[in-house]
A and B are shown apart, each in its own frame.
Chain A
Amino acid sequence: MTQNYYQKEIETMPYEEMKKLQSEKLVKQVKHVYENVPYYKNLMDEKGVKPEDIQSIDDLHKLPFLTKADLRDAYPYGLLAKPLDNCVRIQSTSGTTGRRVVAFYTQKDIDLWEDCCARAIVAAGGTNKDVCQVAYGYGLFTGGPGLNGGSHKVGCLTLPLSSGNTERQIQFMTDLQATILCCTPSYAAYIGETLKEQGYKPEDIPLKAGIFGAEPWTEEMRRGIEKVLGIKAYDIYGLTEITGPGVSFECSEQTDMHVNEDHFYAEIIDPETGEVLPEGSKGELVFTSLDKEAFPLLRYRTRDICVLTRKKCSCGRTLIKMAKPMGRTDDMLIIRGVNVFPSQIETVLLNEGYDPNYQIVVDRVKNNDTFDVNVEMTPEKFTDKVAEIVAMEKSLAAAMKTMLGINPSVHLVPPKSIARSEGKAVRVVDKRKLI
């Protein structure tokens, strides 16, 4: 098949040239951050690293890491590298105030982000003749805005449906002959099942490709979606801290994702020692933003366990490839595309007067995540009236929804009934078998 690229020169750049480009950008970026972000300057000073010590990408390992804890400490403006006058947008992750990430963008940052998404759309076969339906959430979540911008750059007719309202999705998809669908894989599967129930055969559905991300999914799920929708399904990866979707994307080969490494330099480190590991090693994925202006994180630890490989790809792209993340170094769960930390559940329970004895049970039923939280009943809360206990469960679910942005089913259970391991309740049971 003929290969199309959105920015061919970058996407097929020989490795040595890419390295030179990355080095030039990094030297400039480190200087920019050192001069404009006192928080990171302090980290560098503590480590005894000066901007002059960074002469090429090979010096990157000298720089200190940033973690989610730094983002929390520096919230909201501590890692901002441009005056607010130059910023045009924020995006944010869901979560508590403590965990919330607010990322700032200049117009240039938005442009490069949208370019990255455009590369993903073109790699999936998109052109200006396509009709691109964006069914990711719009708003603070990066999914909708990112793919919307990418779709514009490619010149697709963009259908900004946002998430939900499946009947309307299907109506626009069929009436306006959408050819590319962008959403979470579980929502794609759901749309597919709904179409099937309505009697649509894959060949009746105008779609040819889908770009699905924001949550883990398996090869099996990919084949299922491809079959029911009659499309090719491509993965896309990203995180708000770095930019949003489009940090990396799949090409026609559908194996691993090309990192847009002219903007986001990827490293794999040993999560224990912080040491950089050689290509092909499994470890924690770390990103350095090489040319973002407003929120340029250097050596940000994603907590995703991953492998990087730089081998020849049949699509012709030379961009380094990352595997689908194979797990986390922390306890974060991704449920229906939303990041959930067990500690957030704990906070809600303490706020609501419960003991922090709980268990999160996640499963995937018909390609949709189920999210149950079992909470041990306390003697103080216990009553002989069923309706009152049911009301307690509902009110806890509502408080968790406010905290997380997604709705769990809460079940009050007898004390000590949650399985314990070495005296501690087992907090998370993830039955989805995604890896």
Chain B
Amino acid sequence: MAIKQLTVFVENKQGTVVSVTKLLSKENINIRALSIAETEGFGILRLIVNDEATAVKTLANEGYLIKITEVVGVKIGDTPGKLSEALEVLDNSEINVEYLYAFMARTEKHAYVVLRVEDNNKAEDVLEAAGFHLVTDADVNKL
């Protein structure tokens, strides 16, 4: 069920993000979500794309250090408090969220959130049990 996130290791300097996004756009890859975590020295790009196989190939060919990380995608109602609800569900089950970021959603009523947790299956089970809809790779490709 989990969705595939591309994780790219880059130097924290001007121009690194644009060189990654340029390469992807050349291959007609759509970026659905993007998050950057950085320190003074390095940055980690986390990307959800519509065609991760081509994306990995393209970036690896250019020498990027890249790996696929399985993350949980969850669809939440676009109303105040909904994200908190989802996080509370995880918290109640003692599931620690390493990081999270939002999708660029194109529906009116929902937002998509990417969650990085240790145990994807457990997180997905508790979210579903609480009535949340999970996002699949197929959903991502359709976006």
Contact = CB atoms under 8 A, between A and B. Distances in A.
A199 interface: no
Contact of B11 (A382, A385, A389, A413): A413
A414 B64 contact: yes
Contact of B98 (A379, A382, A385, A413): A385
Interface string B1-14: 00001010111000
Interface in B1-35: 5, 7, 9-11
Contact of B37 (A386, A416, A417): A386
Given A377-B65, A382-B65, A384-B116, A417 B11 contact: yes
Most buried by A among B11, B39, B42: B42
B2 to A, nearest CB: 13
B123 to A, nearest CB: 16
B69 interface: yes
A187 B98 CA distance: 43
B50 to A, nearest CB: 20
A394 to B, nearest CB: 12
Nearest to A409: B41
B63 A411 contact: no
The number of chain A residues touching the other chain, given as a range, is 10 to 19
A112 to B, nearest CB: 49
A412 B65 contact: no
A390 interface: yes
A389 B42 contact: yes
Contact of A384 (B11, B44, B64): B44
A371 to B, nearest CB: 15
A430 to B, nearest CB: 20
A389 B64 CA distance: 17
A377 B98 contact: no
A377 B42 CA distance: 11
A185 B71 CA distance: 54
Interface in B113-128: 116
A379 B65 contact: yes
A415 interface: yes
Interface in B88-116: 98-99, 116
Nearest to B116: A384
Contacts of B42: 377, 389, 411-414
Interface of A: 377, 379, 382-386, 389-390, 393, 411-417
Interface of B: 5, 7, 9-11, 37-39, 41-42, 44, 46, 63-65, 67, 69, 98-99, 116
14 contacts: A377-B65, A383-B7, A384-B5, A384-B46, A385-B44, A385-B99, A386-B38, A393-B41, A411-B42, A413-B11, A414-B9, A414-B10, A414-B65, A417-B11
Given A412-B41, A416-B63, 8 more contacts: A377-B65, A382-B7, A382-B9, A383-B7, A384-B116, A385-B44, A389-B44, A413-B11
